[in-house]
Structures are given as structure tokens and as C-alpha cells.
Structure 1
Amino acid sequence: MSMHSRLIFIFCVLFLSGCATPPPKNPDNICEIFFEHRDWYDASKEMKDNWGTPIHVPLAMMYQESSFKHNAEPPMQYFWFIPIGRASDAYGYAQAKTMTWDDYQRETGNSWADRDDFADALDFMGWFTDKTHKINGVSKWDAYGQYLNYHEGWGGYKRKSYNQKPWLIKVSRKVDSRAKQYATQLHGCQENLDSSWLWRLFFT
């Protein structure tokens, strides 16, 4: 590789890494999340329009899955000190597994979707919650039941596999509590978020 080609390659790597959206500074407050990442709010509204899932539910699930890190992956497993691979091929904001992501792309026609793109990952979660409602009758507003389905799969939820995992029930309750917190917060700032940039510039 010539020196010129190497410089171009290095520039591209640095440019792309610089474009990665950092996690929100205060992930415990959905208003601050959306004020920091305005395009995330736009994507969240679109997800709600597409799937009828309230914004606070998948946001709480996403926080639990990836802490809003675009390139999140399961931890590496080791045999003694030798790395033997990750627990699963889950990846991105939604920690979507490859097979389920492929189903999403096929069913929605969104073949260009990327797991490390917030809008795509959130739309995936909207699709999943919609299917959970259709398959297992779990309300799209029920963050507890939705997260159990998300973790165990639709078949696992039907078999009540989560009853053998006290830790998962505890985590699902935590997700439900965060979803309710997000819902309360969003109620207090949604009017401001929905207002125009010009309005917020002069009146906030």
C-alpha cells in the first residue's frame, strides 16, 4: 500500500469513528437524552407511528441491552485465559441477534438497516414488540412482559422459561420501572420537544 493510500485509509477510519454517536450523558432522563440527540426523538416518534409502541418502552429496553452504545456486544468468553468467542452474535443498540435481525429486514423490506444505527435499531424493537403483541398477546405498554419476550423469545415466553431465571425476572422489573420513569419524564417535556427549533430558540 502506498503512503498516499495509507493516509486516505487512516483518514477514513478516523472520520468514521468520529461520526459514531456517543451514549447520552444522562441516560436516566429521557428528556435529556432527546435534547442531546434530537434525531433520536424524531426516530422514536417514527417508530411509534410505525408500530404503535409507546416511546418509553423500547427506550427502557434499549438502555438495559446496550446502555445506548452503538457497537455493544456480549462479553467475550474465556477458557482459562484463551478467548473462545462471545456468548451470542447479538450486536448494536438493540443487541439484536443476526437471525432475528434478518427476519426483521425480510418482513419489513428494510434491507439497508444497520444494527449500529439508532433509528434502525429502535424500529427493530418496535417491530419486535408488535409481533410480541400479536403472538403472545402482551400489551405494547407492558415493558415487563415485553422484555421477557425480548430476552427469551416468543417460544420461551410461552413455555414460561423465565420462571427458572429469578435474575431475569428481577431485570425485567427493573426495565419496567425505568419505562414508567421515562414515561413520566417524557410527559413533562414532550410539548417542548415537539415545538419548532425557532420556538425553542426564543422561548426556552
Structure 2
Amino acid sequence: MFNLRIIVLCVLIASFFLGGCTSTPPKHLSNACSIFDEKDDWYKDAKKASKRWGIPIATNLAIMHQESKFVSKAKPPRTKFLWIFPGPRKSSAYGYSQAKDETWDWYKRESGHGGADRDDFDDAIDFIAWYNHITVKRNKVKPTDTYNLYLAYHEGHGGFSRGTYKKKAWLMGVAKKVDRLARSYSAQLNKCEDRLDSSWWWPF
């Protein structure tokens, strides 16, 4: 029994370090069950964030999909100087959640995650859930209203309150797409979440 525990511990440690070296996006981005089957540590992180902040897993996951397509080090495209030369990026947005520097600093101060990194899925999914939680409290949006949660995520809480999105037909179209994806993710998770919940096995 002791030897089995040592072997399992070694495998888990090796998996942790090897997993940290790879940050490729999941292969099937439109299927929540496939995402969590491939990235088997992500489900635990997503569920923990959902329970902590009261926002459905499907909503947080759909917003991350829209923002970065699950690319850990995603950045906005560079602007062009004289139509040829690469210029500065449009914003400081970075990582899975595409959070800007100042917003991420706010999250670290307010959430208690002082060492959080934007290219860490665990931290990024917690950030998205936290930001949505603030929207629910500040802007009186329902936790299941992915459409308006995404608009507030994109425009900021103040911009959402002022209705800045109303002049951006393209953004409202994107928000509808995020809402549809969240509904699809939710339906998929209804079929596999019990299995995902029961898949965690710890021998010690």
C-alpha cells in the first residue's frame, strides 16, 4: 500500500510539472465535456470558481472561449505603423481572460489572490467568475444572464451602466454568440457533470 501511494504521488508530481510546460488549447472548443476530458484539471478549477462566486461554469467558460479561445498567453493584435511596421498593441489585455493590467491588479487586491497569473487557467477562470459576480452585485444582472454579463465584461461596469454597448451592434452580436455557446455548454455539462464529479480519486 505504501509503495502504491509513492508511485501515485510521483505520477501526480510529474503530471503537474509536465502539464505546466504545455499550454495548448483543447482540441474541441465547442464541447465542454471534451474540454474537461482533455484538460482534466480544468473542471476542478472551473467548479471551484463557480461555487466561490455563484456564476455557472458554462457562462465563465463561454466568456473565456470568446476572449482567448483558451490560448494561455493570448494578446491583442498589434497596430500597424505606416500600414507595414508593427506598432503597439491596442491594450494590455493578456492571457486566458484577456484582463487588462489595471483590472487584474484590482482582482488580485480584492479577491485575495495576490499571486494570480493571467496565463494560469485556475486564476483566469476565477477572475472571470469574480468579475461576473461584481456585475451581478453592481449592475443587477442575473448570474445566468450570459448575454448581459458578457456586455459588462467587455464594456466595464461603468460602460455597461451607461449603455455604451447600445451603439455597438457588432458587440451585441458577439454577446448573443457567447450566450448561445453558454447554453450549449450548459446542456453538454448536464450530460457529463456527474461523471466529471466522480472522476476525482485520491488514494490518500
Which bracket does the TM-score occupy, shorter chain normalised?
Answer: 0.7 to 0.9
The percentage of aligned residue pairs carrying the same residue is: 51
C-alpha spacing 1:17/1:29, structure 2 compared with 1 (3 Å): closer
Per-residue CA distance 1:156-195 (angstroms, 9 max, x = gap): 1011110110000000000000000000000000111111
More deviation, 74-83/34-43: 74-83
Deviations 1:74-95 (A, max 9, x none): 0010022122211100000000
**Partner residue, 2:130:** 127
CA contact (8 A) 1:129 1:140 kept: yes
RMSD, aligned CA: 1.6
Give the Cα separation in 2 of the matches to 1:156 and 1:126.
19
Give the C-alpha shift of residue 22 in structure 1: 1.1
Deviations along 1:19-74, one digit per CA (max 9) or x if unpaired, are 13210010110000001111100001110121011100010000000000000000
Task: Give the residue type in structure 2 aligned to 1:165.
Answer: K
- Alignment map for 1:1-204 (pairs within 5 Å): 19-79=21-81, 80-196=83-199
Deviation at 1:18, TM superposition (A): 7.5
Q: 1:17 to 1:86 in 2, by over 3 A?
A: farther
Instruction: After TM superposition, give the deviation of residue 17 of structure 1 in Å.
Output: 10
Letter of the structure 1 residue corresponding to residue 86 of structure 2: P
Runs ≥4 in structure 1, deviation > 4 angstroms? Answer: 15-18
Q: CA deviation at 1:196?
A: 3.2
Cα distance in 1 for residues equivalent to 2:26 and 2:180: 19
Check conservation: 1:20, 1:70, Cα contact below 8 A.
Answer: no
User: Shift of the alpha carbon at 1:111?
Assistant: 1.0
Q: Where do 5+ consecutive residues of structure 2 fail to align?
A: 1-16
- Amino acid aligned to 1:70: S
Q: TM-score, normalised by structure 1?
A: 0.87
Distance in 2, Cα, partners of 1:17 & 1:177: 31
Once the two structures are superposed, what CA deviation does each residue of 1:88-140 show, in whole Å capped at 9, x if it has no partner? 00000000001000000001121110000000000001110000011100111
Whole-Å separation in 1 of the counterparts to 2:66 and 2:37: 20
Kindly provide the amino acid, as one letter, of the partner of residue 43 in structure 2.
Y
CA distance in 2, matches of 1:44, 1:16: 21
Scaled by the length of structure 2, the TM-score of the pair is: 0.87
Give 2:62's aligned amino acid: A
Q: Across the two proteins, how many residue pairs are aligned to each other?
A: 184
Q: Structure 1: state its 5+ residue gaps.
A: 1-14, 199-204
